[in-house]
Amino acid sequence: MKRVVVTGLGVVSPVGNDVQAFWKALTEGKNGIDFITRFDTQDLKVKVAAEVKDFDPLLYIEKSEVRKTDLFVQYALYATAQAMQDSGIADQVLPDRFGVYFGSGTGGFETFINEHNSLLNRGPQRVSPLFIAKMISNIAAGNIAIKFNAQGPCLSITTACATGTSCIGEAYRAIKHGYADAIIAGGSEAAITPLAVAGFDNCMALSEATDKDSASIPFDKRRNGFVMGEGAGALILEEYEHAVKRGAKIYAEVCGYGSTCDAYHVTAPHPEAIGAAKAIADAVKESGLTQTNRIYINAHGTSTPLNDKTETLAIKKALGEEKARAIHISSTKSMTGHMLGAAGAVEGIAAILALDSGIVPPTIGYQEPDAECDLNYTPNVAAKADLDLALSVSLGFGGHNGCVAFKKVNDNE
């Protein structure tokens, strides 16, 4: 089997639109949640979201591309351009050995709404001929492949809020089994719209808090729903020997992946956390680092009553009670909100940077412990930690569970 490493990172997020700014904000506990500015919330019970700020697509995207793409595609191309630049892989990999595994939970949500309004208000002839090509959820992957001449496998995986993690994990398997030498992996989302906010809120998923600092508070007893976020994360995954041969900078090795389904309920997690626990346990087992306690878990940690207690149970079942209490855990959704299909990719980047830097980002806003959430969630302040293994956990509507594992590269393996 081939070894797989990470050689490039790119991010668009509510706390920063490049990796350096993103990581600085996370380690300093900066809150990216604020009152919604995109539209009038007078008729909505939800008032806050984690919007991307100061986004200038023209830094990485041609004006003609911006005009022809939905915002979720712009985020994806922007993050990928950063990752490509960071990795230096352009022209260093054969096009037919270069792939894209990039997904979205909802696709071009804003485009869908705008064109539907055009249909209702102006008639069918005024629906844009670009409507379908801007809206379909695979089109971020397609545009990335076109822009960077990636002629190998190109898949757009949609597993709701586990999308980014699924894309990383499946890209890892593709390279591991020899189907590609390098793959752009990640996820993107831009769904902060009145319709999406109303839909999530009416299914009792969103926080209606008006205090931005107590809206997304994972594992806190006061938690009452997630906060919508947006953005994109892109990672360049590469076969180890290929990366070494070209002298690439290596952030970490992808060393494990677990993927399961609760097969239980469309929105609620399985109360016994069977699927989530297996996904985590499978990733750790494949990593080969089953004996270490020097682990960081970037938890799914949505700040919903059911998710956080179930995820806590899953960690205990996967690792055992003693180890679960010894490791470092945090939810960066306390700062970025829930980035939906982009969450797993961006949180995978956070896990890699924690492993690389020895700094565990905090779970901010944490004040009141919950008896059912009784692990070390790194409350409010970042912690220094010498880590052997970093895990990123994602759990999505439909029962999708994903966990991807990263470790430091050992050149002697």
Q: Which residues contact 301 (CB under 8 A, 6 or more apart)?
A: 218, 219, 307, 308, 311, 330, 331, 332, 333, 334, 363, 377
Q: Which of 172, 174, 160, 163 is nearest to 141 (CA)?
A: 163
373 to 209, 232, 267, 303: CA distances (angstroms)? 21, 29, 20, 11
Q: Which residues are catalytic?
A: 161, 300, 338
Q: Give 346-398 pLDDT, tens digit per residue.
A: 999 999 999 999 999 999 999 999 999 999 999 999 999 999 999 999 999 99
The CA angle 307-311-315, to the nearest 5 degrees, is: 180
* pTM for this model (two decimals): 0.98
Cα(162)–Cα(157) distance, rounded to whole angstroms? Answer: 10
Tokens coding 392: 């990123």
Give the C-alpha separation, 142 to 156, whole Å.
Answer: 8
Distance CA(27)–CA(350), nearest Å, equals 10
E strands along 165-251, which residues? 182-189, 231-239
Q: Which residues of 22-46 are buried (b: 16+ CB within 10 A; e: fewer)?
A: bbebbbebbbbbbebeeeebeeeeb
- For 390-407, give one letter per residue: b (16+ CB within 10 A) or e: bbbbbbbbbbbbbbbbbb
Q: Is 148 helix (H, G, I), strand (E, B) or coil?
A: helix
Phi then psi for 174, rounded to 5 degrees?
-65, -40
Q: What is the pLDDT of residue 410?
A: 84
How far is the C-alpha of 247 from the C-alpha of 245, rounded, in Å?
A: 6
User: Considering only the top CATH level, what class is 1-407?
Assistant: alpha beta
Q: Compute φ and ψ for 212, nearest 5 degrees.
A: -60, -25
pLDDT for the residue 413? 72
- What is each CA distance from 286 to 145, 213, 279, 283, 371, in whole angstroms? 30, 38, 11, 5, 31
| Stretch (H or E) spanning 102 | strand 98-103
Domain locations in the chain as residue ranges: 1-407
Q: What is the pLDDT of residues 134-149, one digit of tens each?
A: 999 999 999 999 999 9
Rounded Cα distance between 78 and 58, Å, is 9
What string of pLDDT tens digits covers the 413 residues of the chain?
Answer: 999 999 999 999 999 999 999 999 999 999 999 999 999 999 999 999 999 999 999 999 999 999 999 999 999 999 999 999 999 999 999 999 999 999 999 999 999 999 999 999 999 999 999 999 999 999 999 999 999 999 999 999 999 999 999 999 999 999 999 999 999 999 999 999 999 999 999 999 999 999 999 999 999 999 999 999 999 999 999 999 999 999 999 999 999 999 999 999 999 999 999 999 999 999 999 999 999 999 999 999 999 999 999 999 999 999 999 999 999 999 999 999 999 999 999 999 999 999 999 999 999 999 999 999 999 999 999 999 999 999 999 999 999 999 999 999 987 77
Tokens of 393: 């956990």
For 407, the 3-state DSSP assignment is strand
Phi, psi of 219 (to 5 degrees): 70, 0
Strands 182-189 and 98-103 turn out to be parallel
